[in-house]
Chains A and B, each alone.
Chain A
Amino acid sequence: MDTALTSLTETPTCAESALLLDLYRQMLLIRRFEERCNALFLQGRIPSTLHLYIGQEAVAVGVCSALGPEDYITSTHRPHGHALAKGVNPGAIMAELYAKATGCCKAKGGSMHVGDMEVGMPPAIAIVGAGAPIAVGAALSAKMRRSGQIVVCFFGEGGANEGAVHEAMNMAAIWRLPVLFVCENNLYGASTPVSQVVAVKDIADRAAAYGMPGRVVDGNDVLAVREAASEAAARARRGEGPTLIECKTYRLCGHSRSDACNYRSREEEAEWRAKDPLLRLQQTLRDEPFRVDTAALDRIEAEVTAVIDDAVAFAETSPNPAAEDTLKHVFWEDR
């Protein structure tokens, strides 16, 4: 993105308005994509489990808006939002969920491993916390190759308790590597509340123990996320090392398929629905000084619907892989 907007100004320029609308379009794409996935799953079109990103869209979009296409991210078992925000083709993601030969991983990955190295996203890593040292390795590589690339490691508050994350943060800090550790604290690791598994109020506090800055951000405010990520990205690009950003957010859906969320209260859910990051950004756009009208928002809705319709059509009409394709891709030469 070519504009530096990270917070609202009184008199927005055209570029700033366009940026905000683009962030909205991306967040809406993730929301509607995930809703469609859920419907398709319930219809039996998607043969997979699903970990949906509904409610956390501001994190992926805000962070990735601070990155260039050449930068890398590592993702988790809940990767669709990261993939869309990093620029993986929606049709290739949907085809992967459908287990079609045209999927972004040729049907070898599935929902939990979507990615596309061409846009800087290796297959999402579904072992909790395991992406962190890999992100650090990519950052070491960027530093050694003097490529100027930076790396974002997405993980959850659950992943924060994995040993791999600890080792990775320490290594990134001692070698001053260009990494953004982005902790999406959605308050529950599957059904377990964060208060049962973390003794400190903020996971970002742990940054001090590694000798890196730590920040707590409202993860449902896309501009706040973008601002924090941009600052950390600039620091990383200056060669000053990693940053830990904790985004406080909430899953507005179940952990995975058939999760009735009986481990949390309906009141808590209602509180967080009122903080829905998509509706908040929509309100910002409607308010002064942007005053985007309903017709403009409807146009974005229609654009997003068309993208998803195309993605589903692509997935529906794509061929299945052959059973014997099982034997391909074990080694690089078996392609």
Chain B
Amino acid sequence: MPQMTIAEALREGIREEMRRDPTVFCLGEDIGVEGGFGGAFTVTLGLSEEFGHERILDTPISETGIAGVAIGAAMTGMRPIADVQYGDFLFCMMDQLANQAAKMCYMSGGTVKVPLVMRAPVGSTRRGAQHAQSLEAFFTHIPGLKVLAPSTAYDAKGLLKSAVRDDNPVLLFEHKLLYGSKGGRAEKGALSPVGEVPEEEYLVPIGKGAIRREGRDVTLVGKLLTVYRALGAAETLAQEGIEAEVIDPRTLVPLDKELILNSVRKTGRLVVVEEDNRTNGWAAEIAAMVAEEAFFWLDAPIRRVSAPDTPPPFAPVMEEFYVPSEQRVIEAAKSLF
């Protein structure tokens, strides 16, 4: 089976969907310019050679416009895959995402659909505060948007293909340290997981999580980069006799609640690990859900391991302090025993 990075898997997913369906097209900044980057993290590199510049559409630096154009095209028979160079730029297009894309099906009484995909890289990577935020949680709070967060190459391709075929606006968050971008776009300190990606057609269903590691003592829930922090922590914990179960929801909206609840019912302990900052965050929602629905299975308080309530810092020493480390996950898990 071929081995791929996440960037390669996403590219293959886009290529397959564009070959399958002539209404699928890409738009974004610097995605198809000859001699350019193929998107900020090389995901669309080379696609304009096969599909041309009409379907790999380079835009002006106009994030509101990119989102609005994607919405208008999606409402009228196309299936756009838009992207922003950095997730932080989603804030520029917030009205289009939150007021237009998310509400159009609802306020039309279910007569207008908006089948668009918005891809966005997140994660702190030594670029300072405005090219670093993990802002998935914002979008999980907006009814009408689906939110995906693949952490493996297999899931990245399978979820992207499902997102393209979904009839709703879907945000696909991708982590900069997981892409495996190469050449000049490679990231320092990247994990760049390489994984098996079948050549034959497959989809990863939206709304189904994955158990990345089985264990009986404590449940660690992470997403994107923090799945790997949780897995690393689980290895260390195992050496100390604590068997952690690592859950990767893969889809944040809709959320595979039963997967998490069943794990907590088995382990009785929960640590949620997120790179987003803490207050009113995603981990808080998971904790509340478990407290409401699995309280009597808990043997210990729920712990959150989050970024602090600061903007993402620049200095490497501060960034390492900000992004949840394996050590913080280990400490949080051990505090429950």
Kindly identify, within residues 118 to 134 of chain A, every residue whose CB is under 8 Å from any CB belonging to chain B.
Answer: 118, 122-123, 125, 127, 130, 132-134
Distance, CA A239 to CA B297, complexed state (A): 65
- Assess the A125–B100 pair: CB atoms within 8 A: yes
Residue from the list A133, A140, A174, A329 in contact with B106, Cβ < 8 A: A329
Q: Which residue of A lies closest to B55 (CB)?
A: A144
Given A72-B76, A130-B99, A134-B100, A123:B108 Cβ within 8 A: yes
Kindly identify, within residues 150 to 179 of chain A, every residue whose CB is under 8 Å from any CB belonging to chain B.
Answer: 151, 163-164, 167-168, 170-171, 174
Given A130-B100, A145-B77, A137:B109 Cβ within 8 A: no
Residue from the list A125, A127, A138, A170 in contact with B62, Cβ < 8 A: A170
Distance, CA A104 to CA B110, complexed state (A): 10
Query: What total of chain B residues lie within 8 Å of the partner, measured CB to CB?
Result: 42
Please, which residues of chain B bring their CB within 8 A of the CB of A329?
A: 105-106, 108-110
Interface check A83, CB cutoff 8 A: no
Interface check B232, CB cutoff 8 A: no
Interface centre among A103, A151, A171 (most CB of B within 10 A): A171
Interface check B130, CB cutoff 8 A: no
Our count of residue pairs bridging A and B at CB distance below 8 angstroms stands at: 151
Q: Which residue of A lies closest to B67 (CB)?
A: A133
Binds B, one of A106-114, A267-275, A283-291, A305-313: A106-114
Query: What total of chain A residues lie within 8 Å of the partner, measured CB to CB?
Result: 49
Query: Can you list, as one digit per residue, whether each of B60-88 has a CB less than 8 Å from chain A (1) or not (0)?
Result: 10101101111111111110100000000
Interface check B168, CB cutoff 8 A: yes
- Assess the A332–B54 pair: CB atoms within 8 A: no
- Assess the B95–A127 pair: CB atoms within 8 A: yes
Please, which residues of chain B bring their CB within 8 A of the CB of A125?
A: 100
Given A137-B68, A141-B77, A127:B100 Cβ within 8 A: yes
Distance, CA A331 to CA B143, complexed state (A): 9
Query: Min CB distance, A179 to chain B, in Å?
Result: 10
Residue from the list A130, A142, A174 in contact with B95, Cβ < 8 A: A130
Residue from the list B74, B99, B115, B167 in contact with A127, Cβ < 8 A: B99
- Assess the B76–A137 pair: CB atoms within 8 A: yes
Residue from the list B69, B110, B112 in contact with A171, Cβ < 8 A: B69
Please, which residues of chain A bring their CB within 8 A of the CB of B64?
A: 133, 163-164, 167
Interface check A139, CB cutoff 8 A: yes
Please, which residues of chain B bring their CB within 8 A of the CB of A74?
A: 72
Distance, CA A164 to CA B70, complexed state (A): 13
Please, which residues of chain B bring their CB within 8 A of the CB of A136?
A: 65, 68-69, 72
- Assess the B65–A171 pair: CB atoms within 8 A: yes
Interface check B125, CB cutoff 8 A: no
Interface check A117, CB cutoff 8 A: yes
Q: Which residue of A lies closest to B71 (CB)?
A: A134
A-B contact pairs, 24 of them (CB 8 A): A72-B76, A105-B107, A106-B109, A106-B110, A115-B108, A123-B104, A123-B107, A127-B100, A130-B96, A133-B64, A133-B67, A133-B69, A138-B75, A139-B72, A140-B69, A140-B72, A144-B25, A144-B54, A145-B76, A168-B68, A168-B69, A174-B60, A328-B110, A330-B143
Assuming A144-B73, A174-B60, what are 12 further A-B pairs, CB within 8 angstroms?
A106-B110, A118-B111, A134-B72, A137-B80, A139-B72, A140-B72, A145-B78, A167-B60, A171-B60, A329-B109, A332-B105, A332-B113
The 7 A-B pairs with the shortest beta carbon distances in the complex, nearest first, are A137-B72, A133-B68, A106-B109, A167-B65, A137-B69, A335-B110, A329-B110
User: A interface vs B, CB < 8 Å?
Assistant: 72, 74, 103-109, 113, 115-118, 122-123, 125, 127, 130, 132-142, 144-145, 149, 151, 163-164, 167-168, 170-171, 174, 328-335
